[in-house]
Amino acid sequence: MGLVLLLDMDYFFAACEELRHPELKQKAFVVGTASTEKKERGVVQTSNYLARSFKIKSAMPVAMAMKLKPDLVYLPSDEKFYEEESSKIVKLLESYHLEMEVMSIDEMALDTGDADYKKAMALAEGIKSRISSEVGLPCTIGISTSKIYAKMVCDAFKPNKIGMVRKEELLGFLADKDVDSISGVGGKTKERMNRIGIYKIPDIAKCPPLVLRENFGRFGPELYKIARGEDESGVEEGAPAISIGRETTMERDTGDMKKISKLVEELAKETIEELKNRNMWYRAVSGKVRYSDFSFRTKTRRLPNYTDSYDAAFGTCVALIEDLLDGKTARKVGIRLSELEPKKGQTTIKF
Ligand SMILES: [Mg+2]
């Protein structure tokens, strides 16, 4: 394994919108999850640079963002367009013939093979300038010895830069980082860590591995390695491709599964239609719920085989959402299909 180069598009959805509506650059705007008519009930997915200067952030309710900036421009999310832009970037990266992992719609990791630091940096500069001139979008690139570190470097250097942390610089780089700057350490794990006195990454390195295993299971030893600069996570080619999905904000918050099923039916139909248009199979289904208190959860189930079945998508998603709701009420539900495969050349179809 060589050095890992991790590329993350800057404020991706908003940048895509600026690309096709350059006049928007002069205005504060957000891309949100709800239709324009129901925007007050939606949540900010991405805000552009100007909106950020008014303290508008992603995951903030649109209603709150409008209070911060009353003439804020609102755009409903157009994931199809963003996915088209994303596939241009993936194509461009493919031309380098390196091992690549598409981690999400706006994040890709490359294994730079036998390149040394100098060559990896030159490679990153080339990629960044090509994405800027050929696609027209800004990005940040992190380079380091593993995928996890490359991601952290990328986060630390955002936006619109290239950052590199060499092996001998890793411990210094990690020294002042909070535990949740490690990808995979979310709110719950962070709370758990804080409870046993772990706040910064070096605190993990000082913690006995046994205690880490007791508290964080299989993730424990991994955390230990990460904190000591010994992580070796690499680029996994063929990892989940870009997913497709739909979501909708409801007229009124509800926990009524009959009403929710009706909506999911609609969403699943549209999603399967798009899947078929793209001539693809899926293997994993996710149900997504945004609760009345705006907190958000998603749950994913992997099916035994690749399929393009509507029934499997609908049935699985409804079951997952019912599970997630567990008596609570939702303001928004969604479906997502992932582990996509092109139909051409697929030979393992059982459905
Ligand atoms: Mg991004």
Q: How far is the CA of 11 from the centre of ligand 1 (A)?
A: 5
Provide the residue ranges of all domains of the chain, joining segments of one domain with +.
14-79, 171-227, 244-342
Give residue 316's pLDDT.
96
pLDDT value for 333: 94
CATH code of the domain made up of 14-79:
3.40.1170.60
Q: How far is the CA of 140 from the centre of ligand 1 (A)?
A: 8
Side chain identity, residue 29: F
Kindly give, in sequence order, each residue whose CB lies less than 8 Å from that of residue 18, ignoring residues fewer than 6 positions away. 24, 25, 48
Give the distance (Å) from ligand 1 centre to CA of residue 205. Answer: 29
pLDDT of residue 238: 62
pTM: 0.71
Question: Is beta strand 162-164 parallel, antiparallel or unpaired with respect to 139-144?
Answer: parallel
> What is the three-class DSSP state of 75?
strand
CA of residue 41 to ligand 1 center, whole Å? 24
CATH architecture label of 171-227: Orthogonal Bundle (1.10)
Q: Which CATH architecture has domain 244-342?
A: 2-Layer Sandwich (3.30)
Q: Rounded to the nearest whole angstrom, what is the distance from the C-alpha of residue 149 to the centroid of ligand 1?
A: 16
Instruction: Tell me how far apart the alpha carbons of residues 24 and 50 are, in angstroms, rounded to a whole number.
Output: 10
Spatial separation of the C-alpha atoms in residues 118 and 120, rounded to whole Å: 5
Of 338, 233, 344, 321, the closest CA to residue 284 belongs to 338
Q: Spell out where the chain has E strands.
A: 4-9, 29-32, 44-47, 73-76, 99-104, 107-111, 139-144, 162-164, 244-254, 280-291, 296-307, 330-338, 341-342
CA 255 / ligand 1 centre spacing (Å):
32
Q: Give the rounded distance of the alpha carbon of 48 from its chain centre.
A: 17
Contacts of 174 (CB under 8 A, 6+ apart): 152, 201, 202, 227, 229
Q: Which of 79, 101, 107, 339 is catalytic?
A: 107
Active site residue 107: yes
Q: List per-block mean pLDDT (blocks of 10 residues) for the chain, which spans 351 residues.
A: 96 96 96 88 91 93 95 92 91 91 89 96 98 98 97 96 98 97 86 95 95 90 95 78 82 92 95 86 92 84 90 96 92 92 54 33
